[in-house]
Amino acid sequence: LYVEHPLGEEQSVPLTREQAHYLFGVMRLGPGAPVALFNGRDGEWLAEVSEAGKKGGVLTCSSQTRPLRMPPDLWLLFAPIKKSRTDFIVEKAAEMGAARIIPVQTEFTNSERIRQDRLQAHAIEAAEQCGGTFVPEVGDLHKLDRMLADWPQDRQLMFCDEAEAGSALRLADGGRGLPWAILIGPEGGFSDRERARLSALPFAHVVSLGPRILRADTAAVAAMTLWQQALGD
């Protein structure tokens, strides 16, 4: 179970109404029942139910069962698409172990707005599902141009572009160990201006994901898999 509260030996963790409903109403747990907790910072802890009520309750931590496992320093930048597909991208990025997930507005991005809190909740759920101890941060919608203007010095960018026929990720020289970001465009792809700008950046590596045009959500998963294979741990 994900909680926001700090975790540690003998630490009491108060539950929200929703958490109490889930543990005591849905899962039918009672006092003394064991629960595994994580908060994205302190690893996984074994706790037991010390107070159970309809509107709340308290768990008490006993011992740490797993240390915090940080993911590789990988960001996923993607242009938000239809709601359900955007949810899918966030969920899969959290499962694949992205450290940050950043929706970006490009020239051809249709959705001007995202629900950051909803997407963050999806990332938490995905981390819970796959037994992670870390929760990636989902950013607010950033303008791609502005992000590129303030780009961190040594972070490499895997710029996925279907126009780049045939150039797979080539990282022989020292890509491992560096921080990376993957960039996936919107359904309409990148504009010529964006393409020219991105291709000229010294930290950008233009990459093809194969000869077919993939949907943006498929492309995000394919790119993370490719990155994982070439550079991940």
Is 70 among the residues that bind ligand SAM (CB under 6 A)?
A: no
Least Cβ distance, residue 157 to ligand SAM (angstroms): 12
Q: Using CA atoms, how far apart are residues 200 and 55, in angstroms rounded to an integer?
A: 57
Closer Cβ to ligand SAM, 49 or 204, answer by number: 204
Q: Using CA atoms, how far apart are residues 133 and 69, in angstroms rounded to an integer?
A: 6
Please provide residue 162's backbone torsions phi and psi, each rounded to the nearest 5 degrees: -70, -15
Q: Using CA atoms, how far apart are residues 34 and 46, in angstroms rounded to an integer?
A: 7
* The one segment of 38-46, 62-70, 114-122, 187-195 that binds ligand SAM by CB under 6 A: 187-195
Is 213 among the residues that bind ligand SAM (CB under 6 A)?
A: yes
Q: Using CA atoms, how far apart are residues 40 and 6, in angstroms rounded to an integer?
A: 10
Least Cβ distance, residue 132 to ligand SAM (angstroms): 26
CA distances from 80 to 61, 71, 106, 126, 195 (A): 39, 23, 9, 18, 18
Is 206 among the residues that bind ligand SAM (CB under 6 A)?
A: no
Quick note: the x/- pattern for ligand SAM over 129-168, rule CB under 6 A, is: -------------------------------xxx------
Is 214 among the residues that bind ligand SAM (CB under 6 A)?
A: yes
Among 8, 152, 177, 210, binds ligand SAM (CB under 6 A): 210
Least Cβ distance, residue 51 to ligand SAM (angstroms): 49
Closer Cβ to ligand SAM, 5 or 85, answer by number: 85
Token readout for 36 is 């595994």
Closer Cβ to ligand SAM, 17 or 143, answer by number: 143
Minimal CA–CA distance to 181: which of 102, 113, 114? 102
Minimal CA–CA distance to 197: which of 166, 230, 151? 151
**SS3 state at 228:** helix
Q: Using CA atoms, how far apart are residues 30 and 143, in angstroms rounded to an integer?
A: 48
Among 188, 197, 199, 203, binds ligand SAM (CB under 6 A): 188
Least Cβ distance, residue 138 to ligand SAM (angstroms): 19
Q: Which residues bind ligand SAM (CB under 6 A)?
A: 160-162, 184-185, 187-190, 208-210, 212-216, 219
